[in-house]
A and B are shown apart, each in its own frame.
Chain A
């Protein structure tokens, strides 16, 4: 667990460093994700200790999201005044995006057969 965590945090910090040094318009952790992806491709596999650590982290993902999501506390008044517009936009764009990718994938996978 600890060894895998060390590897992940090293990649996270390397990502933060790279994003800051080259002033990339990318969040540091996403930059770290790309670094790890390149590393895995070059290495040709995932070491079991890294896999174990990441599976344990994924199990607690909703909990790690609590601190930031609780920030909606300060937006309650605002959300209660425009929930209808926001809900409508979210629902409509969910349907449109779903149908777009559904039909595009149907079309492209038919062509390949």
Chain B
């Protein structure tokens, strides 16, 4: 005979254990990555999107609040900051390789960083979105690890910021082939920079399919875009 009282207590101990949240995160990510590979890397099955969906479903199912889930996996969130620091490495390596196109690249990325923020903020205010939302949208062209901490810095919401970055990046595999058909790029540097500026990491994966050079320029544009936006955005918003 099962003792219902004891069962309930044991279940609470299980769900309340800090490793439970970590296990859920690992398991959701592993399943999402499996699905992504099985569907031939179909963009809408991006591992982050699917794992967040799965995780929210499980949180609801076991009755764990987001707050207590987050507390239990906070160490993973700190490691996100470590990845942000590590972005210096690809940035350093691509800057070192960049010989001929130095000024065009720097000028284009700096002005695009300012322009991207201006456009999204202006559009968001135009359709009447509230200020916290505007601030969460402002970082949508910045690679996610930087966007998350930057959003907290300027008073946006980090979760929304991460979601908006992800949605923006998902536009790349859908629309970039079409854009390149209408406006053919003069060389891979042009395509790479435009993709990296507008669609960061997922865009860079797309750019790598075009050519290695295109991917390298996209990766450079993505990391430059992130650090430049981080430098000026807190002064303006």
Residues of A within 8 A of B (CB): 5, 8-9, 11-12, 15, 25-30, 32-34, 36-37, 40-41, 46, 50-51, 53-54, 57-58, 61-75, 82, 85-102, 104-106, 108-112
Contact = CB atoms under 8 A, between A and B. Distances in A.
Interface residues of B, number: 99
Interface stretch (B1-9, B10-18, B147-155, B208-216): B147-155
Contact of A86 (B103, B107, B115, B164): B164
A65 B113 CA distance: 23
B116 interface: yes
Contacts of A108: 103-104, 107-108
B104 A74 contact: no
Contact of B115 (A12, A75, A97, A111): A97
Contacts of A104: 107-108, 111-112
Nearest to A46: B89
A51 B59 contact: no
B93 interface: yes
Contacts of B105: 105
Contact of B91 (A37, A82, A110): A37
A68 B77 CA distance: 7
Contacts of A36: 85-86, 88-89
